[in-house]
Amino acid sequence: MQNSIFQNNLEAIKKKNNDLYKRIKSAPGETLVTIEQSKTGLPVPLFEKNGKNIAIHSRFDPEKEAERMLKDIAIDGYDLFVVLGFGFGYHVDYIRQQAPQNATILALEAYPSILREACANRDITELVADPRVVLLVDPDDDALATAMKARSSYRTVFVTHRGSHQVHPDYYNNLQRVAKSYISVKEVNIATLAKFERTWAANIARNIGVFSRYPGVQNYYQQFAGIPAIVVSAGPSLDKSIPFIKENMDRAVIVAVDTSFQVLRRHGIEPHFCVTVDPQVVNARYFEGTEKGNTVVVADPTVHPSVFRLYSGRFVLTGIAFEMMQWIEEFTGKKGELRYGGSVSTNAYDFATRLGCSPVVMVGQDLSFTGGYAHARGSYLDEQVFLKVNRIYTPQMFNRSQLQALAPIEVKGIRSPVVYTNRKMMIFLNWFGKLKDDNLVNATWDGARIEHVKHQSHDSISFPSNGISIWERLDTIYGKCGVRHSDSLTMRQDLYDCCRNMEKEIESLLDVCDSAVYHTEKLKKLVGSEHRDQGKMSYTLSKLDEMDKRIEAYTRLKDMVGFTIQRVIHTITEGYELKEDEGLSEHEKIAQRSLFFYRGLLDGSIFNKKMLQKMCTMLSD
């Protein structure tokens, strides 16, 4: 009988997830697990830990236990359940019976052998076959991200199964942190797109002149192989690392982020490179009042244009990170890629590795409110605090408000037993932790300890004198790549002609988008009508198909417009709810989302017409 249950369960899993089927089938029998019958006759796994048997479910009535465990959760109020611990699935079954039909139940189990025992001892065919149930065993980050794709905006509840948690608390705590971090990334993504998508596009348009003239960052790649690098961020503990940087400023390539640039210069340290990528005008202020120096500023083409006015030194440009705008590099040539992790410090780290530097040592990378502060003393952002405070609103109160802007998260510190971070900084903590780069050393004085990264104190790091003049090598490379002048005239003219032709073409695209909005509004009315006219609906749908084909034909324009409506696209593809969806039927929601998309496309086309005009102006100067 048990063998029959096992085979039936495996077959049900195989139909839905062949990889999971293989993992369960090949899982070894768990020697630490024994099976006991509960008082109600249901099988309960016991897990041996530290000489004791831990019952993963109730030895009396596991089904009643599941009901009690979930009684305080309004199950019908959620559409994503992240269940930490599957065991034999009694609690998952209870959620499945109560959850809405469109819900997702993501059940996460640490041990393949536990699931194997569940398949051998309990009929879970109906549970695993339910399309709402997604079952993962010891998932890596990629598997978890795939399972949560398009569900990040759902009303989510985390359900920790107490029995499973008792067996492996650290595992399930970390799994919950990773899952929450993934949701946070998505929330940050949509918020970032809403805030910056048009700023990025506008800055690229306004910077197209300098982008076509300045050399690319790739000219420096692998030119400092074997030379150490110190990547300087502007965390609160940076001042503790200043002596270490000064001691090694001639032995290591100093790569500053824009936030730390002024701090270093005020301490008599001129970094070899400074990386700036943020599109906001506040980041340009980091260069305000600086005298001309030797530092080469590595600038993303989306930075605020005033960066190029406020700093009168040397620049190299990175390539355009956004695929939809990379057609510009067909004319200018490739500038060089950088990896993006949401923080300029991730760009600076990647730049140092592309230089060929070894090791890459980070300082000022607190990723926490070390000592209750948000930024390094003397940084531009730190100075701004004093413009916002007064006698009754002190700097300490301001920093406390920064700490509480997002819910503080307690994490292990480098020197301090614990420090406080938040969801945003956790994204960067996870980014660095996932690198597992043996070449990376975190020498930050204090702050959040990063998993899988080697931490060393300043006095344990020694850079030998290598007899190489870093400045001399940097100057030689810059002199060779230089700033283009006469050789760029033809390229700039070709790019200007392309932008001018696109500006003319966008007039016809505007007509197509306007027509698509008109027909989608008609479709929405027809779908919502009590007596649908199928003939009119078929005609309207055929017109929309025609509009789609015409839009597809505008290759570069379509990409450029698409870049500026990523929030709209992301909202639809990630399943975010629209306010306009409330009270609509499923067919009406589809029509409403189509209207949302085409209106976004029309609005984006109007915006891009202005951007193309700006590009033509900048290229004609």
Tell me: do 261 and 405 sit in the same domain: yes
% pLDDT > 70, the chain: 88
CA distances to 46, 90, 497 from 124, rounded to whole Å, are 19, 9, 65
Residue range 278-305: mean pLDDT, rounded: 90
499 and 412 both lie in a single domain: no
Number of H helices, E strands in the chain: 25, 17
Report residue 467 as tokens: 């007899």
Residue 195 is assigned to a structural domain of this protein: no
Tell me, letter by letter, the H, E, C secondary structure of 80-102: EEEEECCCCCHHHHHHHHHCCCC
Model pLDDT, residue 179: 78
Across 126-130, 235-239, 375-379, least confident range: 375-379
Least confident window among 115-119, 241-245, 387-391, 437-441: 387-391
Residues 503 and 478 reside in one and the same domain: no
| Token pair recorded at residue 134 | 């997604």
Kindly state whether residue 28 falls inside one of the protein's structural domains: yes
Together in a domain, 500 and 611:
yes
> Is 197 within a domain?
no
For residues 216 and 173, state if they share a domain.
no
Question: In what side-by-side order are the strands of the sheet with 52-55?
Answer: 33-37, 43-49, 52-55
Q: Are residues 131 and 218 in the same domain?
A: no
Whether 518 and 409 map to the same domain: the answer is no
DSSP states along 551-605: HHH-HHHHHHHHHTTHHHHHHHHTTPPPGGGTT--HHHHHHHHHHHHHHHHHHHH
Same domain, 411 and 536: no
Q: What is the pLDDT of residues 399-408, one digit of tens each?
A: 445 444 456 7
Choosing from 155, 186, 217, the residue where a domain stops is: 186
Q: Rounded to two decimals, what is the model's pTM?
A: 0.71
DSSP at 216: B
Same domain, 410 and 276: yes
Q: Which domain holds residue 527?
A: 487-620
- Same domain (yes/no): 161, 72: yes
> What confidence tens digit (pLDDT) does each residue in 473-512 have?
999 999 888 654 445 788 899 999 999 999 999 999 999 9
Q: Is residue 305 part of a domain?
A: yes
Q: Kindly tell me the burial class for residue 505, based on how many C-beta atoms sit within 10 Å of its own C-beta (0-12, 13-18, 19 or more).
A: middle
Let me know if residue 192 belongs to a domain.
Answer: no
List the single range of 51-55, 345-349, 394-398, 450-454 with lowest mean pLDDT: 394-398
Q: Is the pLDDT of residue 416 over 90?
A: yes
Q: What is the number of structural domains in the chain?
A: 3
**Per-residue pLDDT band at 340 (split at 50, 70, 90):** confident
* Average pLDDT over all residues of the chain: 86
Verify that 601 and 464 share a domain, yes or no.
no
Give the CATH number, domain containing residue 121.
Answer: 3.40.50
Per the structure block, which two tokens stand in for 381?
């952002």
Same domain for 453 and 493, yes or no, is: no
